[in-house]
Amino acid sequence: MTTRQALLALAIALGLAGAARVPPAWADGAQRTASAISAAVDAEAPAAVDLLERLTTQNSGSFNRTGVEAVGRMLEAELKALGFRTRWVPMDAIGRAPHLVAERDGGHGQRLLLIGHMDTVFEPFHPFRKFTRNGDSATGPGVNDMKGGLVVMLSALKALRAAGALDEARITVFITSDEEAPGEPVEQSRRELVEIAKRSDATLCFESGISRDGRDYASIGRRGFTGWRVASEGRPGHSGGIFSAQQGDGAAFELSRVLSRFHDELREPNLTYNVGLMLGGANIKLEDAGIGSVAGKANIVPAEAQAIGDLRALTPAQVERVRQRMREIVAASLPGTTSTISFEGAEYPPMEPTPRNAALLARYSEASVAMGLPQVLTLDPLLRGAGDSAFVSPYVATITGLGAVGQGAHAAGESVDLTRLPVQARRAAMLIRMLSR
């Protein structure tokens, strides 16, 4: 059995054990608390959907600093109304909107860190812009990842206040402005988040929840993210001379060679890699926000070609091994061409599955059962992408996936199941209550 399989088995065992036993010292009042939380969540549900619409309608692509801050101002108002002190962490130096931090000092239980992000992958130029409700579901940019998760977080906190259980809790809410495209260096953009994590006892991340085959999942681990860029160069000239000794094979065929070998030769367990954008021709311009331009004609051998993509792996050793293989592939250029590879952009570390993360997920499953809901199972780390929880997990018990449930994140048509917002809010509220006792 591999380490990952053993940890997953431990998580499942802990979850089953937690669901089977009577909840601990707070059991006498657990039913009253559960009823109060459920009633408060139900009462809040229409307002929660209205808030989700307002958050989604405001574009907050990672590079739209004004739009991201506008979303943050909406969230700040909600948190202040709940009695949180708020402050902003400036990120001007790295070209991003500020992070939002909100704090409440209760007198009981664990010091909890709730995390999320207010940016999306949809920049203002993207045609997918509107919030559209279709019965029990809605579509919109970031409606699932993760404005729906922010609404779940706020609904849980509002329910705790209505149940008279928020004043006791020691909670810090940290909402980043740039999770989808972290400002560099990440050591700077995540410095304060990490420092707060070091002073916390548990971190709850409200990234999207997962439901598969009628079962609900959260995560104790996730893979890391590394960006890469391949740049190929060739000799420009008339297309009639391509493949000759004087002309060579051209930059476009060279880039195609590299990507084809990546496709065929890099595959291994726990690894994925993707090509996100390609350009070939002349005068290539490629901005960080993903906007590119290039010139060319059918009868001109292209002088340059570029591709950007990502690499996702479960351990640092795996990342380095695959990087080295990519370098070797890139170095074997076609005649008359050269290629280089660089590993650039913000890197997210892997969030390795740990026993303490598994134990926290078991408490989450226990909270779900206490609310009359099904157990929450452990998601395979390969099924969740990189995220901010990976930065804090080395220092504190961390789980992620407490947010909205939907489909199609990062693509036009992204949707959220509105009926699941109250379910996720009930679970989160009860878990916060349990940890705050």
Nearest Cα residue to 209 out of 283, 146, 286, 255: 146
Are β-strands 108-117 and 169-176 bridged in parallel, bridged antiparallel, or unpaired? parallel
In one letter, which amino acid is 354? T
Task: For 278, list phi and psi in degrees, rounded to 5.
Answer: -135, 145
Residue 328: count other Cβ atoms within 10 Å of its Cβ. 12
Position 408 scores a pLDDT of: 93
176-230 tens-digit pLDDT = 999 998 898 989 999 999 999 999 999 999 999 999 999 999 999 988 888 999 9
Strand partners, 255: none
Three-state SS string across the chain, please? CCHHHHHHHHHHHHHHHHHHCCCCCCHHHHHHHHHHHHHHHHHHHHHHHHHHHHHHHCCCECCCHHHHHHHHHHHHHHHHHCCCEEEEECCHHHCCCCEEEEEECCCEEEEEEEEEECCECCCCCCCCCCCEEECCEEECCCCCCCHHHHHHHHHHHHHHHHCCCCCCEEEEEEEECCCCCCCCCHHHHCHHHHHHHHCCCEEEECCCEEEECCEEEEECCECEEEEEEEEEECCCEEHHHCCCCCCCCCHHHHHHHHHHHHHHHCCCCCCEEEEEEEEEEEEEEECCCCCEEEECCCCEECCEEEEEEEEEECCHHHHHHHHHHHHHHHHCCCCCCEEEEEEEEEEECCECCCHHHHHHHHHHHHHHHHCCCCCEEECCHHHCCCCCHHHHCCCCEEEECCCCEEECCCCCCCEEECCHHHHHHHHHHHHHHHHCC
CA angle (104, 105, 109) in 5-degree steps: 110
**For residue 114, what are the CA distances in angstroms to 108, 341, 416?**
16, 37, 21
Sorted by where each starts, the structural domains of the chain and their CATH numbers stand as: 3-222+351-435 (3.40.630.10), 224-348 (3.30.70.360)
Q: Which residue is associated with the tokens 């909270």?
A: 367
Position 13 scores a pLDDT of: 45
CB 109 within 8 A of CB 436: yes
408/92 Cα distance (integer angstroms): 31
251/236 Cα distance (integer angstroms): 9
Per-residue pLDDT of the chain (437 residues; tens, 9 = 90+): 444 544 444 444 444 444 434 444 445 567 888 999 999 999 999 999 999 999 999 999 999 999 999 999 999 999 999 999 999 999 999 999 999 999 999 877 899 999 999 999 999 999 999 999 999 999 999 999 999 999 999 999 999 999 999 998 999 999 999 999 889 898 999 999 999 999 999 999 999 999 999 999 999 998 888 899 999 999 999 999 999 999 999 999 999 999 999 999 999 988 999 999 999 999 999 887 788 999 999 999 999 999 999 999 887 788 899 999 999 999 999 999 999 999 976 578 888 889 999 999 999 999 999 999 999 999 998 888 789 999 999 999 999 999 999 999 999 999 999 999 999 999 999 999 999 98
CA angle (332, 333, 335) in 5-degree steps: 135
58/408 Cα distance (integer angstroms): 19
Query: How much is the pTM?
Result: 0.79
Position 382 scores a pLDDT of: 84
Q: Which residue is associated with the tokens 């892997």?
A: 350
